[in-house]
Amino acid sequence: MECDIPIFIGEMLEGTILPAPTFDPVMDAQVLGGALQGMDCDKDVLINILTQRCNAQRLMIAEAYRNMYGRDLLLDLKETLSGHFKEVMVGLMYPPASYDAHELWHAMKGAGTEENCLIDILASRSNGEIFQMKEAYLMQYDSDLLQDIDSETSGHFRDTLMNLAQGTRQEGYADPVMAAQDAMVIWEACQQKTGEHKNMLQMILCNKSYQQLWMVFQEFQNISGQDIVDAINQCYDGYFQELLVAIVLCVRDKASYFAYRLYNAIHELGFHNKTVIRILVARSEIDLLNIRQRYKERYGKSLFHDIKHFSSGHYESALLAICAGDAEDY
C-alpha cells in the first residue's frame, strides 16, 4: 500500500453517522416498540432509526425504551432478529468500547480464534480506547482481556498483542536521533530474525508514538533502501507478520488500512460478513467517510457499489445506510 500523510498531522476525521439534528428518544422508542411487536418485525423502521442516530442518541433511545416497556432494547433486537442483519442492528446498540470488547470476546471464545479481528482492533486503537475496551471487557464478561489473549494465542503474535493491549504507547513524542537508532534495530531484526530481535521489533512498533514511528519508517527506508512493509513481508510470516504490517499501516493512515481490510473481506474472502460489519459499525462515527474515499481511490469502485453487489435484502440496506453512499457511488 502507498504511504499517505498521517492523520495526526492534520487530516479531519469524518464519520458517516452524525447526531440527528431533530431527535426525540421517547418517540423513537415508541416507534421501535411498534416495529418489534407482532409476527413480522418492521425491519425498515429499525434501519431508518438506528442507522440515522449517533451512538449516544441510540443509548438514549434504549433508556427511553426501557422506561416505556420495561424491557431491554438490545435483548429484544437479539431475540427478534436473525442472521447478519441482527449482527448489524445489535452492533449499533453497543457503546464503542463495549462493541470492541464484544468483538474481541467472540473472536477468542468461539470455535477457534479469529486472529484478524484481534489484529484489526488492537493494532488500530489509541491508549484511551484500549483502556475503555479493557474496562468494558471486564464488566461484560467478568474476564481479563490480557489473560484471555495470553491463553488463546501463542508465540510472538501473542506477545505483540499483549504489548498492544497494555495501552502504553508514547503520545506526542518524536526524537530524530532515536528514530535512526530504532530503524537500525528494525533492520537488524529483519536480518537476524531471532526471538530476541523479534521482541525488540515488536517493542518499538507497540510502544513508540505515531510521530516517532513515522520518522522511524523514513529512516528505515534510508538505511535499507526498502519500504518497511516489504521488509516485514519478506522476513516474517503468519499472524505475527500480519499484525506487524497492520501496525505500520495504521501508523501511516488508518483510513487506508481499513479500506484495504474491507476490500480483502469483500473480494478475497467471499464477503467475510463479520469483518465488513465490524469495520462499518466501529468506524461509522470516526472515519468511515475517509475510508470510503480511500477505497474508491485505491480500488476504482466505491464501497457502496461493492456492498450492493455482494449483499442483499435488509442486510444490504442496513450496510448501505451506514456506508451512506450517494446514488453516483454505485
Q: What's the mean pLDDT in 254-266?
A: 97
The C-alpha angle 53, 296, 276, rounded to 5 degrees, equals 50
Question: Quick one: pLDDT band at residue 326, thresholds 50, 70, 90?
Answer: low
Domain termination site, one of 202, 229, 252: 252
196, three cell numbers:
530476541
Q: Tell me how far CA of residue 302 lies from CA of 85, 109, 299, in angstroms.
A: 22, 34, 8
Distance CA(188)–CA(176), nearest Å, equals 19
Distance CA(56)–CA(74), nearest Å, equals 14
Q: Residue 60's pLDDT is what?
A: 98
Distance CA(186)–CA(217), nearest Å, equals 9
Distance CA(326)–CA(321), nearest Å, equals 10
* More confidently predicted of 182 and 10: 182
Q: Are residues 151 and 184 in the same domain?
A: no
Domain termination site, one of 252, 284, 312: 252
- Among 10-24, 28-42, 197-211, name the one with the lowest average pLDDT: 10-24
Q: Residue 112's pLDDT is what?
A: 74
Domain termination site, one of 200, 225, 252: 252
Q: Of the candidates 66, 119, 150, which has an alpha carbon nearest to the alpha carbon of residue 249? A: 119
Residue 33 lies in a domain: no
CATH number at 202 reads: 1.10.220.10
Residue 153 lies in a domain: yes
Q: What's the mean pLDDT in 223-230?
A: 95
Q: Residue 1's pLDDT is what?
A: 41
Residue-by-residue DSSP string for 310-321: H--HHHHHHHHH
Residue 64 lies in a domain: no
For the chain, give the mean pLDDT.
92
pLDDT at 8 over 60: no
Q: Are residues 289 and 244 in the same domain?
A: no
Residue 11 lies in a domain: no
Residue 182 lies in a domain: yes
Domain that holds residue 201: 176-252
Distance CA(161)–CA(119), nearest Å, equals 8
The number of C-alpha atoms within 13 Å of 7 and in the hemisphere containing its C-beta is: 17
Q: What's the mean pLDDT in 59-68?
A: 98
